[in-house]
Structure 1
Amino acid sequence: MSGLEELYQELILDHSKRPHGKGLLGEEDDPHAAESHQRNPICGDEITLRAQVSDDGDRISAVSWEGSGCSISQASASMLTELMVGRSRAEAGELIDGFREALRSRGAVELDEDVYGDAAALTGVSRYVARVKCAMLAWVALEDALLRA
């Protein structure tokens, strides 16, 4: 394993042990928030994600979540939380699309650390098809929640 792969593995483990955004914020009936529950039936990972948007509905003001599962799914949710707060819906959509493309590429597309921050550490997951859904779970939940918000 290369030094970079070891660093990425440590980063994933750190996010899974000390997750950002864990614990649902706000109220379910908040008109500026929407929730999405996603489950990976293959491995049992689950997440409920709540996205809160600004009064004008364009910016993500908060992302919080509750979930259980493997270190990849939990770390991915934590990384997503850090990355998305303050982004516009359009920016979030582009990031989600790029993340999906990289994870489906089987290693052909790498995530840019300058764009994706800590989530770039998940690039290597694309080589393990069975783990892609684990990493995508929170991203799919955010995409769904933003459609509802």
Structure 2
Amino acid sequence: MLPETLARQIISDHGQHPRGQGEIAGAPHAALDNPGCGDQVTVWARVEGGRLAELRFTGRGCAISQASASLMTLALTGKPLAEVRALTTRYRAMVMGEAPPDPALGDLVALSGVSRLHARRKCALLAWQALEAALADAGG
């Protein structure tokens, strides 16, 4: 587990300066929103040869939703789909408070504190749910 101040710094940095932003022309995508807080995200996923070749997002919302989407693009791009699914399962379990932070998640562990904030779990999971929908459209 990361020290709380480091976790806050990671979330703040990715929330204010998200990585992986932009669209992927012609790639399957999915848009979701969280009406409770106004977060919106669209995720594009290009799959090639059983790998998540490219992953990008657009959207707006709170620091947690934007940091989660940003960190997701960094953590999953280039990974085989089986690993993408496994990391998604670990991340969801951590955010929902069903499993402790997993070092395999890297900087995504910074979002582990969300498990204590029930109203913020949706923010941390929004991009991941959009990714799952985009992958379903991509046949992955």
Once the two structures are TM-superposed, the CA of residue 21 in structure 1 deviates from its matched residue by: 0.4
1:98-109 correspondence to structure 2 within 5 Å:
98-105=90-97, 109=99
Give how far 1:72 is off.
0.2
Q: TM-score, normalised by structure 1?
A: 0.87
Q: Is the 8 A contact 2:69 2:127 kept in 1?
A: yes
5 Å-filtered alignment, 1:52-91, equals 52-54=46-48, 56=49, 58-91=50-83
Q: Which runs of 4+ in 1 moved over 3 A?
A: none
SS class of match (1:146): helix
Q: Give, in angstroms, the shift of residue 109 of structure 1.
A: 2.3
CA distance in 2, matches of 1:118, 1:62: 19
Secondary structure of residue in 2 paired with 1:65:
strand
- The residue identity in structure 2 corresponding to 1:124 is G
Of the two, which has the highest radius of gyration? 1
Is 2:94 the partner of 1:95?
A: no
Report the Cα distance in structure 1 between the residues aligned to 2:106 and 2:28, rounded to whole angstroms: 25
CA RMSD of aligned residues (A): 1.3
Within the candidate set 126, 129, 133, 2:122 is matched to 133
5+ long unaligned stretches in structure 1: none
Distance 2:35 2:16 in 1: 23
Q: Mapping of 1:19-38 within 5 angstroms?
A: 19-25=18-24, 27=25, 30=26, 33-38=27-32
Residue 4 (1) aligns with residue 7 (2): no
C-alpha deviation, 1:41, in angstroms:
1.3
- The 8 Å contact of residues 110 and 120 in structure 1, kept in 2 or not, is answered as no
For residues 85 and 41 of structure 1, the distance between their equivalents in structure 2, rounded to whole angstroms, comes to: 28
Q: 1:110 aligns with which of 92, 95, 100?
A: 100
Percent identity reads 42
